[in-house]
């Protein structure tokens, strides 16, 4: 039992005091810091008063919450309620991402800012957006308190100045920001700037701030240490091990010195856990509780000797999501190139009116989800009437993105993307895509988002693809298919997930082959068309891949001409209608049913082959709006004027990020709409997919069968779709 002899020195120095002041120091240690909560639970149960708290890294977070009035049980609930994978990332739900950004939201595996000196790596893997927002939410009633000595329990935490390498004591300022700075593990979390200093994890220099606690006024120090000791080279097996070892070695001398002044030293037995064991929170809390229980005699001796009684600290009850506030005004700091109107539109809070905490949280998520900012945090000031201060860090307006993909139909491909924002006007987005593969593609897009007010989208695209002609499931010929498009539309966006608009496009098609197949395609054929269209796009899926909630709908009606008025040989334009509908129905946490419908109808005479409906292929690309996916058929295998496909995916999550999916579809194809629906040919297909949702995108292997061909075929997909 680690119990240093405090009794005589304290008795001598406190002859004229009512009782000694008890200080609590909590070390850093990543997820292992959850053990602090178990120790605090025992301290609470024994009624031991805590007069001062000092913490580093995870110790600063738990200590900060405890200092404003959260009980150990409250903090335990907070920890166990978190989705740590999302919290320790900058992930924002697709619900808060504008619909025109959703298709790019999970598309690239690498993204770099382009600075004047070229492409630069970020300061950390994670910016900490979700962490700071959680801290702000949980401390909202203490945003006004800038002196941490005046908190219900005086508090300080330790950070490291990256410029000087010195420890920085944070005992004033903005509490959420101080806690966030103290836990900024180098390379993983980006450091943050406070008072002109670039601050990171305090554990690099002082991971056990006992002396600082004594300087606050503590007479007796209870120290809880969750640090890992130095590991041997054989034990350094991961990046987290290396980071933790580096921080531990740098702080080792300070720790040994601080330990001399610690009166009660508690070290939970958690060697088998790592700084990244966030999914073991309940076990770590229990480990802390077990070791603290072994100190009950020591703590009771302390309590009885000095007749200690727990200080009356008002329990902190944070506002619930439905709590409302009166908003007096809004201030924004950090805007340079992005307009205030864009931010205010995303925030969607009216001054001189009441708003709920949910509305505020959703507004912050929409601002961050707009992709114009790397960082968005908030501060509430005032008593009855609130002033809202929103602080933003604008996202570098130039970014370079990289994606990788392979599938059985299109083979390997790399996409290189550069995206520029706020070109010509605030709120704009200019993007260039270059797909490098056997079938290259180039696309440039310029978009202006005005919310409900009409916005603008301009696209130019070139696509060089290879298509095949099939008969009875066998390839008869291969054609080089070139597609060139210039598209302009105006659109309105509603609640980030709904988009509707009107547009026009010029399309040029060219088919080229060494030979032709009579009655199917000429060896060489090309033409251009003018089209007018109206469209509706909806996407409320929680995830782009393997969603469990939400739906998506894309519907388009297009008038096709080759002279702006009609098609050759006709007195009117041809008509094309296309619809794609998908809905995720969560039956249980692991089982989701995903019904889908694809339909494409063409009306008119002398319809060119370019506008036929081509059914087949598992891929989710939108290279051509003439393609209808169908499990069991090869890409664009069956050509018809009209195609209707009904499909259902039965998705079961075997274990985390591993899925088994049964895909069943049936379709009717015909050259006449009425005939297709009433007497058209039914085709049927089924597939079974095993999938792993990796950090580079889905890794899928599918076995599939169709009644249009004999035997079982397979399909492989690796990486995000683009």
At 235-262, the pLDDT tens digits run: 666 666 666 666 666 677 788 889 999 9
Q: Three-state SS for 28?
A: coil
Tokens for 66? 């405890």
What does the pLDDT read at residue 671? 66
What does the pLDDT read at residue 658? 97
What does the pLDDT read at residue 6? 43
What does the pLDDT read at residue 680? 62
CATH topology of domain 398-719: Porin (2.40.160)
Q: Is the Cβ–Cβ distance between 636 and 627 less than 8 Å?
A: yes
- The residues of the chain that CATH labels 2.40.160.50 are 398-719
- The residues of the chain that CATH labels 3.40.1090.10 are 22-90+132-306
Angle made by CA atoms 550, 554, 557, in degrees to the nearest 5: 160
> What's domain 324-394's architecture?
Roll (3.10)
Q: What are phi and psi of 560, to 5 degrees?
A: -110, 130
Q: Kindly report the number of other CB atoms within 10 A of residue 651's CB atom.
A: 22
Nearest to 689 by CA among 546, 585, 587: 546
pLDDT tens per residue, range 646-695:
999 999 999 989 999 999 999 998 866 555 455 567 899 999 999 999 98
Q: Are strands 441-448 and 455-471 parallel, antiparallel or unpaired?
A: antiparallel
Q: Tell me which residues are annotated as active site.
A: 57, 201
What does the pLDDT read at residue 640? 86
Cα R_g (the chain), whole angstroms: 31
Name the CATH superfamily housing domain 22-90+132-306: Cytosolic phospholipase A2 catalytic domain (3.40.1090.10)
Tokens for 71? 């009980």
pTM attached to this predicted model? 0.83
**662-690 as b/e, with b when 16 or more CB fall inside 10 Å?**
ebbbbbbbbeebeebeeebeebebbbbbe
> Which of the residues in the chain have pLDDT under 50?
1-16, 519-520, 676
The residues, ordered by sequence, that sit 6+ positions from 110 with a Cβ below 8 Å of its Cβ are 401, 402
**Residue in the structure block whose two tokens are 């009980």:** 71
What does the pLDDT read at residue 676? 47
Q: Are strands 524-539 and 124-126 parallel, antiparallel or unpaired?
A: unpaired
Q: At what angle do helices 58-67 and 72-81 cross, to 10 degrees?
A: 130
Tokens for 405? 């993909």
Q: Kindly report the number of other CB atoms within 10 A of residue 412's CB atom.
A: 13
């Amino acid at each position: 039992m680690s119990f240093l002899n405090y009794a005589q020195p304290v008795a001598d120095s406190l002859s004229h005091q009512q009782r000694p002041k008890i200080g609590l120091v909590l070390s850093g240690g990543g997820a292992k810091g959850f053990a602090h909560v178990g120790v605090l639970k025992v301290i609470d149960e024994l009624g031991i008063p805590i007069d001062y708290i000092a913490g580093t890294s995870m110790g600063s977070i738990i200590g900060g919450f405890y200092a404003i009035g959260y009980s150990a049980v409250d903090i335990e609930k907070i920890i166990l309620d978190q989705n740590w994978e999302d919290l320790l990332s900058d992930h924002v739900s697709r619900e808060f991402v504008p619909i025109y950004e959703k298709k790019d939201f999970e598309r690239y595996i690498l993204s770099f800012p382009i600075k004047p000196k070229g492409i630069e790596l970020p300061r950390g893997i994670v910016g900490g957006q979700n962490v700071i927002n959680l801290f702000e939410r949980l401390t909202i009633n203490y945003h006004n308190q800038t002196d941490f000595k005046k908190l219900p329990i005086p508090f300080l935490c330790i950070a490291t100045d990256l410029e000087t390498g010195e420890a920085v004591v944070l005992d004033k300022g903005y509490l959420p920001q101080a806690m966030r700075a103290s836990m900024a593990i180098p390379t993983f979390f980006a450091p943050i700037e406070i008072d002109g200093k670039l601050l990171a994890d305090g554990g690099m220099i002082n991971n056990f701030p006992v002396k600082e606690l004594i300087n606050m006024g503590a007479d007796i120090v209870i120290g809880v240490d969750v640090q890992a000791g130095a590991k041997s080279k054989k034990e350094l097996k991961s990046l987290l091990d290396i980071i933790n070892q580096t921080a531990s070695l740098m702080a080792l001398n300070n720790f040994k010195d601080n330990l001399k002044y610690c009166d009660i030293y508690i070290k939970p037995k958690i060697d088998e856990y790592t700084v990244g064991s966030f999914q073991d929170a309940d076990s770590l809390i229990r480990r802390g509780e077990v070791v603290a229980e072994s100190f009950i005699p020591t703590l009771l001796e302390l309590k009885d000797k000095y007749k200690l009684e727990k200080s009356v600290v008002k329990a902190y009850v944070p506002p619930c999501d439905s709590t409302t506030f009166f908003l007096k005004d809004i201030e924004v700091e950090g805007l340079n190139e992005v307009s205030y109107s864009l931010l205010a539109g995303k925030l969607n809070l009216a001054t001189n009116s009441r708003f709920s905490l949910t509305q505020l949280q959703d507004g912050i998520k929409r601002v961050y989800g707009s992709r114009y900012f790397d960082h968005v945090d908030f501060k509430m000031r005032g008593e009855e009437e609130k002033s809202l201060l929103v602080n933003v860090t604008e996202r570098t307006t130039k970014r370079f993105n990289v994606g990788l993909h392979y599938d059985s139909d299109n083979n390997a491909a790399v996409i290189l993307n550069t995206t520029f924002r706020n070109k010509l006007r605030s709120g704009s987005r200019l993007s260039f895509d270059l797909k490098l593969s056997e079938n290259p593609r180039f696309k440039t897009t310029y978009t202006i988002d005005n919310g409900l007010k009409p916005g603008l989208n301009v696209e130019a695209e070139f696509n060089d693809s290879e298509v095949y002609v099939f008969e009875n499931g066998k390839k008869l010929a291969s054609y080089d298919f070139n597609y060139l498009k210039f598209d302009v539309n105006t659109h309105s966006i509603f609640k980030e997930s709904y988009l509707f608009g009107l547009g026009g496009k010029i399309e040029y098609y060219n088919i080229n082959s060494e030979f032709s197949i009579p009655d199917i395609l000429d060896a060489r054929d090309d033409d251009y068309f003018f089209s007018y269209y109206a469209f509706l796009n909806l996407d409320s899926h929680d995830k782009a891949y393997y969603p469990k909630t939400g739906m998506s709908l894309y519907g388009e009606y297009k008038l096709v001409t080759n002279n702006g008025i009609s098609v050759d040989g006709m007195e009117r334009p041809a008509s094309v209608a296309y619809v794609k509908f998908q809905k995720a129905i969560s039956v249980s946490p692991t089982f989701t049913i995903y019904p889908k419908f694809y339909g494409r109808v063409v009306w008119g005479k002398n319809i060119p082959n370019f506008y036929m409906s081509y059914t087949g292929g598992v891929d989710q690309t939108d290279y051509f709006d003439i393609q209808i996916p169908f499990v069991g058929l090869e890409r664009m295998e069956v050509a018809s004027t009209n195609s209707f496909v009904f499909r259902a995916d039965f998705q079961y999550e075997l274990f985390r990020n591993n899925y088994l999916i049964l895909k069943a579809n049936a379709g009717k194809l015909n050259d006449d709409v009425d005939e297709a629906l009433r007497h058209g040919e039914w085709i049927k297909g089924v597939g079974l997919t095993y999938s792993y949702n990796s950090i580079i995108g889905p890794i899928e292997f599918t076995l599939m069968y169709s009644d249009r061909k004999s035997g079982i075929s397979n399909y492989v997909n690796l990486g995000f779709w683009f």
